A and B are shown apart, each in its own frame.
Chain A
Amino acid sequence: MKIDHSLPLEYSTQENQMKILGFWIFLGAEIMLFATLFASYFVLAPRTGSGPAGSSIFELTPVLAETILLLTSSFTIGLAIHAMRLGRTKPMLVFFGITLILGLAFLGVEIYEFNHYIHVGAALQTSAFTSILLTTLGTHGAHVTFGLVWGLFIMIQIKKNGLTPQTANKSFIFSLYWHFLDVVWIFIFSFIYLKGMM
């Protein structure tokens, strides 16, 4: 394994570089996945059948809380990677931990939100609109859940092995993933909630 010390740790071996490129390509596929969900959402959003429309079930407060939590977590994961570039393990782990806690809080609010929808009669089975709404939100939420477990495993590995080319690489890729989920959320916030509440 040749390590090139002129590059940041996460890029320092050929394997690491390939993993980062491969992950960018994977994010390309993820964009297609969410684009398909959004396209289907736009088609099905007006098709509410006998169920409620978006404007009557969306609540601004939890949605705003989710947005602030997730956007902040994207900022803190950026700080974590910055600390990693400076080679400072401890602040990195702290910011990484804050990111995951914010993610967990986001997930909590989202679970509350889902509970609310089912409570007001907007379940998966209610109409085409509720089906696609809950599937799109659920796919994003499942990604966040996966990210929480994944991120925790990376933190354990950094704690055990310190910042090596492998752990730095994993952390950097995790940060790409987390930023990506943030971008998807911005689209959800703008085109599902804001558009729906108008």
Chain B
Amino acid sequence: MEFFERFAIPHPSPAIYASMVAIGLTVIAIIAGLTYFKKWGYLWREWLTTVDHKRIGIMYLISALLMLFRGGADAIMMRAQLSMPENKLLDAQHYNEIFTTHGVVMIMFMAMPFIMALMNFVVPLQIGARDVAFPRLNALSFWLFFMGAMLFNISFVIGGSPDAGWTSYFPLAGTEFSESVGTNYYMIALQIAGIGTLATGINFMTTILKMRAPGMTLMKMPMFTWSAFITNIIIVFAFPVLTVALAMGTLDRLFASNFFTTNNGGMDMLWANLFWVWGHPEVYILVLPAFGIYSEIISTFARRNLYGYKSMVASMVIISLLSFLVWVHHFFTMGQGAFVNSIFSITTMAIAVPTGVKIFNWLFTLWKGKIVITTPMLYSLLFIPLFTIGGVTGVMLGMSAADYQYHNTMFLVAHFHLVIIPGVVFAMLAGLTYYWPKMFGFMLNERLGKLSAWIISISTLVAFIPMFFSGLDGQARRMYTYSEQAGFTMWNMISFVGAAGLAIGFALIVYNIYYSIRYAPRDIGSDPWDARSLEWATHSPVPEYNFAIVPNVDSTEAFWDAKKKGHKLFKGELEKIHMPNNSPIPFIMSSIFFVWGFSFVFAMWIPLIIATIGIFGCMAYQSFEKDHGRYISVEEIKETEEKLGGPTV
């Protein structure tokens, strides 16, 4: 029995027991459903072992949506707890756990996979490739992310959630102040997911550099591909820093080393520095692809080519460089002194310049355009004013002297939510709606889509604008309650109403998906939005080989020019196509990684060693395996093309 005691939750509550039951029932329901409908084989062949970038993209998308609701549930609980003074809904410990998991889940397991979903699905299509450079590595990236996310998510029913904030500052996150295994989960789950992300970075950089269609020079790439390229460069250079920081944190917690402790020379500020050397570039890893999505959507629905293509690229390059030079602004108040703070203040404010260039480019693209208001366009148009509120308050926070007033208050919380929600979440919802017909062959309902866009936008303002005021009045972030005399009640109540509105908006999106699956027409053709780049030049849904003939590109908007100016996109004859085989290795190896991570969290060394051997065994098997892929014959291609309705251009 003693062995099992370690898995108990240190601070149980009825809500957690209810969640345990719910998780158990869901797992049973899924297993029973798969068995009853005889879908195990289908699941294994078509999804778990797939190396197809489109299917991997869709799996990322499903995971991101699930995690959005997990993180959203945390958010609702926090806003409900703070809606009234001296509220007893959650105690301090649960509040700590919930704001920690909310932050980690939303950044690492919702926003990241959402971006990966769109990158995976769209980038190879936009550059006219058949897949990514290393399809099997791509599957491994997904499954490592997925297992990392699952490991993190079981923390609250086995052993207890992390409770030191999503930044896990030491010494709070050290064993002295965080005794439970929660922070071990944080360190190891992020490590596993982070390895997957790093592999994605390498994979997509190689893909974009080596697999573009003939004629597509770097400066003829669509803007989303450019943004993905820059993002992956940032990933490759930022994630190793997180890897090292997490490894040091793990050593501190499990092997009593002295990196971030307060004795024997340990230095807690080293964690803060390393974390944000990764953490600030991470912000741009999230927001640059979002900017890429907006660029695609705005030029499509303004019916104009993107204004200032070169300055768009240049501003992203500058942002990517500056993103590594601003990390100290996350802790101006933690003792660097005025000189260091001034330097980082200046670099921080400098980022507003290239970002401003991008905003003006979008506005100039709209100028004299024939604007069509669709759901994706509505999100893009609402993004500009909302994001500007978040951005301008960011410049306020970036002034180090003034930051002493704003630091660690709700003002900061309002700022970064008003950056991330319009900047990233709106873009992902816009991208989801925009690429939905390409993924599934039917469109989401426009009326419901626009309604949810409005509800989400207005609710975002209602939820977060009050925090600016309560923050300036002195309400600290991460405090689980406040007294009535503090005078924060009204602002927090308004915030709660906004949070409820957001929940309704997201529920409406789910309803829209259900409604559209049932009622949306299926005969929408391959180009329902009258769009401009290559992904719309193939069928919807996309055949596994993407393009029957590799397209020939001679402008930045190849498909538009093919439609309007009669450029010939597909030259030459059909040839047999080489495709990679499916493989169970990525899934199996990642599952072993899950066991590895779980054993590590609970310091169970024997299973850990066995799992480590298993991981290297998978790598050895992969090294010796002879797999040269397979060919799709010309007859097969003809048959598929015929079924999907013949040539597209």
Residues of chain A having any CB pair with chain B under 8 Å: 1, 14, 17-19, 21-22, 25-26, 28-30, 32-33, 36-37, 40, 43-44, 47-51, 124-132, 135, 149-150, 153-154, 157, 170
Contacts and interface: CB of A to CB of B under 8 A. Distances in A.
Interface in B70-86: none
B237 A36 contact: no
A40 B259 contact: yes
Given A124-B255, A131-B251, A32 B241 contact: yes
Contacts of A170: 623
A169 to B, nearest CB: 12
Contacts of B202: 22, 25-26, 29
Contacts of B261: 128
B510 interface: no
A140 to B, nearest CB: 13
Interface in B178-217: 198, 201-203, 205-206, 209-211
Interface string B247-271: 1100100011111010111110010
Interface string B205-235: 1100111000000000000000000000000
Given A1-B578, A29-B236, A44 B259 contact: yes
A131 B257 contact: yes
A126 B237 contact: no
B264 A126 contact: yes
Contacts of A49: 258, 263-266
Contact of B210 (A21, A126, A135): A21
Contacts of B578: 1
Contacts of A130: 258
A33 B237 CA distance: 9
B228 to A, nearest CB: 15
Contacts of B606: none
Contact of B620 (A14, A19, A153): A153
B134 A18 contact: yes
Most buried by A among B255, B257, B623: B257
Given A18-B133, A21-B210, A29-B198, 19 more contacts: A14-B210, A19-B134, A22-B203, A25-B201, A29-B236, A29-B237, A29-B240, A32-B240, A33-B240, A40-B259, A40-B274, A49-B258, A124-B256, A125-B256, A127-B264, A128-B265, A131-B251, A135-B247, A135-B251
Contacts of B251: 124, 131, 135
Contacts of B620: 149, 153
B616 interface: yes
B177 to A, nearest CB: 18
B267 A128 contact: yes
A167 to B, nearest CB: 11
B458 to A, nearest CB: 42
B264 to A, nearest CB: 3
A130 B266 CA distance: 10
B624 A18 contact: no
Interface string B261-294: 1011111001000100100000000000000000
A51 B237 contact: no
A118 B265 CA distance: 18
A17 B261 CA distance: 46
A135 B265 contact: no
A175 B211 CA distance: 25
A156 to B, nearest CB: 8
A17 B244 contact: no
Given A1-B578, A29-B240, A47 B267 contact: yes
Interface string B444-475: 00000000000000000000000000000000
Given A33-B240, A37-B244, A135-B248, A25 B206 contact: yes
Nearest to A51: B264
A43 B237 CA distance: 21
Nearest to B255: A124
B433 interface: no
A25 B628 contact: no
23 contacts: A18-B210, A19-B134, A22-B134, A22-B203, A22-B206, A26-B202, A29-B237, A32-B240, A33-B240, A36-B241, A36-B244, A43-B267, A49-B264, A49-B265, A50-B264, A125-B257, A126-B264, A127-B258, A128-B261, A135-B247, A135-B248, A149-B616, A150-B623
Contacts of A135: 247-248, 251, 257
Most buried by A among B206, B236, B241, B616: B206
A102 to B, nearest CB: 22
A36 B274 contact: yes
Secondary structure type dominating chain A contacts: helix
B243 interface: yes
A40 B623 CA distance: 34
Contacts of B201: 25, 29
B239 interface: yes
Contacts of A22: 133-134, 202-203, 205-206
A132 B259 contact: yes
Contact of B624 (A1, A37, A157): A157
Contacts of A128: 258-259, 261, 264-267
B156 to A, nearest CB: 31
B264 A36 contact: no
Contact of B205 (A1, A25, A153): A25
Contacts of A14: 210
Nearest to B261: A128
A30 B258 contact: no
A144 to B, nearest CB: 15
Nearest to A17: B210
Contacts of A149: 616, 620
Nearest to B207: A18
A40 B264 contact: no
Interface in B600-642: 616, 620, 623-624, 628
A117 to B, nearest CB: 14
Contacts of A1: 578, 628
A21 B624 contact: no
A153 B259 contact: no
B265 A48 contact: yes
- Lowest 9 A-B CB distances belong to which pairs? A47-B265, A49-B264, A128-B265, A49-B265, A33-B240, A32-B240, A131-B257, A36-B244, A22-B206
A154 B206 CA distance: 23
Contacts of A129: 265
Nearest to A23: B202
A5 B270 CA distance: 52
A62 B134 CA distance: 41
A70 to B, nearest CB: 22
B197 to A, nearest CB: 11
A32 B265 CA distance: 25
Contacts of A25: 201-202, 205-206, 236
Contacts of B274: 36, 40
A33 B244 contact: yes
A22 B133 CA distance: 9
A126 B338 CA distance: 34
Contacts of B259: 40, 44, 128, 131-132
Contacts of B205: 22, 25
A36 B266 CA distance: 17
Most buried by A among B198, B263, B620, B623: B623
Contact of A47 (B240, B257, B266): B266
A125 B251 CA distance: 9
Contacts of B241: 32-33, 36
B141 to A, nearest CB: 13
B317 to A, nearest CB: 16
Nearest to B259: A131
Nearest to A154: B623
